[in-house]
Amino acid sequence: MACSVNFPVLAKPTSPQPSSSTKPFINLTSPLSSSSHISRVSFCFDVTLAHSRRSSALGLRNKQSPVFSIVAAANAKPEPLRIMISGAPASGKGTQCELITKKYGLVHIAAGDLLRAEVAAGSENGKRAKEFMEKGQLVPNEIVVMMVKERLLRPDSQASGWLLDGYPRSSSQATALEDFGIRPDLFILLDVPEDILVERVVGRRLDPVTGKIYHLKYAPPETDEIAARLTQRFDDTEEKLRLQTHHQNVEAVLAIYEDLTIKIKGDGPKDELFAQIDSALSGLLEQKKATSTSVASGV
């Protein structure tokens, strides 16, 4: 919204001696959105004849009312990007997250990493989560949602924008974020055919020392020493069940973000995938810039 300025027209003084009640005043109201920043407002007062003792003495009273002009220089900054990305295990989501954050400087937030960090830091949410984890139970949604919400609202996320990785995973989690007023600008879904996903996940191996994920075909270990210690996190049956669970959950989430979703075919080279994502994000950023400029100029 544009800044509005009201200049009340005051009655001319009937006495040669002006009182304080007849002095011109300015009433400024600026209902600006959080994304608009007024960097400089200068008031230029061009008062040709004032209601003062001096003007009275010169015999020039009331020939012209005070004239005011306002010059507002607006330096509008667009709102940062707010992005969610989802993909099945082995969809290449981790690689795309790295490329996105590198180019756009977004704060990368993954619920699993956030949960572990909160527990390690001993935060209130972390302590509550640890109680369930020590019992071998799943951490309740409400605890994880609170962690995610608080992380998204931190100053760095608000200033730089955020990339929420693999969350929400269910309609209840998405609804909870909506209730907090948290909604993305774009929901990216990496869509990979089932047979390719199965081939990718079955060949994945974990290095228990470094935590790095390898693939026997696509990303083999660098040395025989590393290869000897690799472990398989899940067997074939478990991997297929995880894929089935993902597909069921993501459909429910897509129903909430249907108007914000773009599907990217994830079976091509990573650079081609990123080119599509990059095009969508660049276009979104240009829209935000155009909107902020219009708001600042009062259009």
Instruction: Extract the runs of DSSP E, i.e. beta strands, from the chain.
Output: 4-6, 27-29, 38-46, 67-74, 82-87, 107-110, 162-165, 186-191, 204-206, 213-215, 261-265
Nearest to 278 by CA among 60, 49, 83, 136: 83
Using the predicted structure, report yes or no on whether residue 266 has a pLDDT greater than 50: yes
What are 215-247's pLDDT values in tens digits?
888 889 999 999 999 998 766 677 778 888 888
Nearest to 174 by CA among 105, 254, 291: 254
Q: Hey, which residues are catalytic here?
A: 93, 169, 204, 233, 242
| Structural contact between residues 23 and 68, judged by C-beta atoms closer than 8 angstroms | no
Q: In the chain, what are the domains? A: 82-273 (3.40.50.300)
Bridge partners of residue 85, in order along the sequence: 165, 188
Return the pLDDT at 24.
39
Identity of the residue numbered 106: L
Spatial separation of the C-alpha atoms in residues 51 and 53, rounded to whole Å: 7
What are 112-167's pLDDT values in tens digits?
889 889 999 999 988 998 898 888 777 888 899 999 999 999 999 999 999 999 99
What are 67-111's pLDDT values in tens digits?
443 443 345 678 999 999 999 988 999 999 999 999 999 999 998
Mean pLDDT, residues 167-189: 94
Helix (H) or strand (E) holding 273: helix 270-297
Residue 262 pLDDT level (bands cut at 50, 70, 90): very high
Return the pLDDT at 110.
93
CA distances from 97 to 60, 103, 251 (A): 72, 10, 21
Mean pLDDT, residues 189-215: 88
- Rg, C-alpha atoms of the chain: 30
